[in-house]
Chains A and B, each alone.
Chain A
Amino acid sequence: MSAPALSTRQLSKRFDSLVVARDIALELPVGARYALIGPNGAGKTTLINLMTGMLAPDAGRIFLCENDITGLEPQERVRRGLARTFQINTLFAGLNALEAVTLAVCERRGLSREFWRNVAVHKEAIDEAHDILVKLRLGEICYQPTRELPYGRQRLLEIALALATRPKVLLLDEPAAGVPPEESSDIFEVVAGLSTDLALLFIEHDMHVVFRFATQIIVMVGGTVFAEGSPAEIAAHPGVREVYLGTRKHG
């Protein structure tokens, strides 16, 4: 079996006396479709922040395709193929979708230091950005400023920005957060259609969505991995039913 796309070893983090991550050891194989679930405050977003370098762990290591990335800056991890989206829209409000995704493509292609040429000369970069937008059903509205886009489209733009970095591993923090249920499945159809070369981990509260799209489920409680297994195993897991599914919430 080949090396996992992303793995963590004994990852730990505490804020004063509050432990938000304790000895987390995970492996995300190539092509993974993993769901990360758990009650509010379980440390799911914190784990994504640790993996992407937005928080520094107190202990433990993080590996991207066998390379230790624990000490790297967030942007360096992105360049090596680890991308994320945000639970709360973290977009470029004044740019339109084409400009925003072109910006991300230019950064990846190493063009962003170029101040002496018009961006329009980089046809391949712009076409690549536009292709991503079309694939994510944002083609028709890509000239509208981001702040004017409907909320659901903004959630898709979150994913488009991450895809523009050509990730090997993509961490989605509640990709459909705040989206009405009927639109939420649209977003997950897009997610399900992503390349199978990509290892995917998503945080989600809606159990219908989780059981429909995940091949493996990780349950976090109180900063630790409580259980991990296939959807069937998790559904049958007595402890999970008790701590999580019993008090299930649709977020």
Chain B
Amino acid sequence: MPVTAQMGLEPVGYLKAQTRWGAAETLFWLATPLPFYFLPAYLQLASQIAITALFALSLDLIVGYAGIVSLGHAAFFGTGAYAAGLFSKFVWGEPLTGLIVGAMVSSLVGYATSFIIARFRHLALIMLTLGFGLLLGAAANSASWLTGGSDGLQGVNIWPLLGRFNWDVYGYTAYGYSLVVLFVLFLFARRLIHSPFGLALRGIRENFLRMPAIGAPSRAHIRTAYTISAAMAGVAGALIAQTTQTVALDSLGFERSAEILIMVVLGGAGRLYGGLIGALVFMIARDQFSGIEPEHWYFWIGVLLVAVVVFLPNGILGGLSRFVAHWRAK
């Protein structure tokens, strides 16, 4: 961080400057529509990446900012997916309403479990989130009359977006829709981490023990963060249900929870863009590797993960920012 450049700033000006849009992030978002023009054959993949990025962003809010490690975050992704899918099947197929339903159901589940989550830390927390995830996965499997079980949810019926855009096989609508939703929720998350509440979350991550000594209700903060994160994961799940017109049982499985955590760590936790970059790299790598060596995909992901954790302890973005700082210092 270029501390010296900010020395002359007033405190308010300094904090404002922290939240200003940088060139790199502006470029990042300007590049997101490029697949429409240059990679039209990959729009379905691009849509999946945008949705996964949103899911990773939701996990980063609790892992990277509040320091709550979860191995069961797919519970909320899957809940949102099933909620939106079932809503379209039985009630109403309008996609934006479906997103809201997905967010609401997931946040309710998140809020209910947050009372237990907020009382634990570290290993106990990992086991708890894992337990909740397994529990929900098993419940969805046994309620196959409702969810379709391992065959996946059939009969998802999503109306055209805004009454105008049909769900084309190329994925134009899917990617445009996913990208806009990702961007809107990214703006929300960005605002959140620069808010007083976001500062409190960073306080919890940096020193949980000090928080009560400055009068902070850490548990209440954790409950709020967990609920918001669950809602965002629910929106991501709803998006996957709507854009693929089905819900697979593995959308709330353990593997999904583990993968999303890998993506956040890969990109760099607590950096806002970490989950986005992690999802991008992971999904593209999977698409490429699984084409060449579908059997050994997880071998390579394992290699990548070990390499990143050993050589880039703060993820790809952490490594990049160190490189940039080093380069600037020259």
Contact = CB atoms under 8 A, between A and B. Distances in A.
Interface string A150-191: 000000000001101100000000000000000000000000
Contacts of A235: none
B15 to A, nearest CB: 4
B220 to A, nearest CB: 8
Interface residues of B, number: 39
Nearest to B203: A103
A106 B211 CA distance: 12
B199 interface: yes
Contacts of A83: 213
Interface stretch (B4-12, B85-93, B129-137): B4-12
Contact of B6 (A120, A129, A143): A143
Contacts of B3: 143-144
Nearest to B189: A115
A107 to B, nearest CB: 5
Given A92-B202, A95-B203, A143-B6, A119 B195 contact: yes
Contacts of B197: 112-115
Count chain B CB atoms within 10 A of each CB in A78, A104, A140 and give the residue with the most.
A104
A119 B199 contact: yes
A142 interface: yes
Contacts, number: 144
Nearest to A76: B215
Contacts of B224: 113, 115
B202 A94 contact: yes
Contact of B11 (A103, A127, A145): A127
B19 A91 contact: no
A103 B209 CA distance: 15
Contact of A95 (B16, B194, B206, B209): B206
B252 interface: no
Give the contact-size bracket for chain A: 35 or more
A98 B15 CA distance: 9
A130 B207 contact: no
Contact of B213 (A52, A123, A130, A140): A52
A92 B206 contact: yes
B217 interface: yes
23 contacts: A75-B215, A75-B217, A78-B212, A90-B209, A92-B206, A94-B206, A95-B203, A98-B14, A102-B11, A103-B200, A103-B203, A104-B215, A112-B221, A115-B192, A115-B198, A115-B224, A115-B228, A116-B191, A117-B191, A118-B195, A142-B11, A162-B213, A164-B214
Given A107-B214, A118-B19, 15 more contacts: A75-B211, A86-B210, A86-B213, A94-B205, A94-B206, A95-B203, A95-B206, A98-B11, A104-B215, A113-B196, A113-B221, A114-B196, A115-B196, A116-B191, A120-B194
Interface of B: 1, 3, 6-7, 9, 11-12, 14-16, 19, 191-192, 194-200, 202-203, 205-207, 209-218, 220-221, 224, 228
Interface of A: 52-54, 73-75, 78-79, 83-84, 86, 90-95, 98-100, 102-104, 106-108, 111-120, 122-123, 125-127, 129-130, 140, 142-145, 161-162, 164-165
